[in-house]
Amino acid sequence: MSKECDLHKKEKVSTICNLLYQAPPGEFSNVFEDLRTLAQDDELMRQEVAQVCAHHNKNNFTTVRIEGRNILVTRYNDLGGNRFFGPQNKFSFKFDHLSETASKFQLHGVLLDETELWRRALNSALKAYVSSYFPSGDCSVFRKTLKNRQIFVVCIVGHEYKALGFWNTIWKSEWTFALSPVITQVTGIYHLQIHYFNYANLHMTVSKTTEEVLHVIDQAQLAMDFVKLIKAEDNNFQVALIENLQALSEETWGKTVRRRLPVTNTVMNWNKLLTNQNLGTSISKCRI
């Protein structure tokens, strides 16, 4: 009997986790509460499903506001034990992935070396760009050490949650490159997710990977050239997205999905058709 109960619990946890992984942007808490009501098991939802909440927040660069600044929650500033640090604020905090709140603040030392000065220059230039082009966006530059190489990871996120307008969307990009002399290779990954739910239930997910090369001369030059690269790639991604949406609208919805009708090049007299239809209905109801 206990084995059957354990199997039933595992199936329930698996189903709930799969549904949460598919939660549209800005709707994770709504999906969680709905599943919590259906499951009728708060302990299961808080303990077994907590890792899904953590994955969602780190994967979507969830922002938490602390002392007037937004800090991104990502796997790059994860200290373990649900603790994260802000590279600009120089402290760490405990993050509740369910309520999305921060607590238990502690000082977190940041090594002020040459790499940190490069990181700050990049972060400052990137903040100016994001604040100009992403009304509800944010960004952060993190540094990692990999095989004695200094690696920069840039996270950018922008979202629009318009529940009353029946749509939610998130735009995020992640950029990685090494701080190497003269030249470095930059790898960028875009991810866009849209949910439209007025008169339809439309989910759209778009991903793209790009690679470019940057020259590394000094801090100011690298920061300026990197922002130029980001701006150009953002524009290219947006233009390609619009073109593909137009093609989807014309080809898929206009020709494939819609039932094909004959083209007669004649004007339809809808009033006459309606009169005839009413007359036909009346006749069919008559008894002979």
Instruction: Kindly report, residue by residue over 32-88, the tens digit of the pLDDT.
Output: 888 888 888 888 777 777 888 899 999 999 999 888 888 999 999 999 999 999 888
Helix (H, G, I), strand (E, B) or coil at 114: helix
CA nearest 60: which of 25, 88, 98? 25
Q: Tell me the CATH number for domain 9-107.
A: 3.30.1140.60
One fold for both 9-107 and 114-256? no
pLDDT of 26: 85
With a CB cutoff of 8 Å and minimum separation 6, the contacts of 211 are: 185, 186, 187, 188
* Residue 192 CA: distances (Å) to CA of 60, 160, 201: 10, 12, 17
Instruction: Kindly report, residue by residue over 171-208, the tens digit of the pLDDT.
Output: 999 999 999 989 999 999 999 998 888 877 888 889 99
Quote the pTM value: 0.81
Q: Domain-by-domain residue ranges, the chain? A: 9-107, 114-256
Residue type present at position 1: M
- Homologous superfamily of 114-256 in CATH? F-actin capping protein, beta subunit (3.90.1150.210)
pLDDT of 43: 81
With a CB cutoff of 8 Å and minimum separation 6, the contacts of 85 are: 77, 79, 91, 92, 93, 108
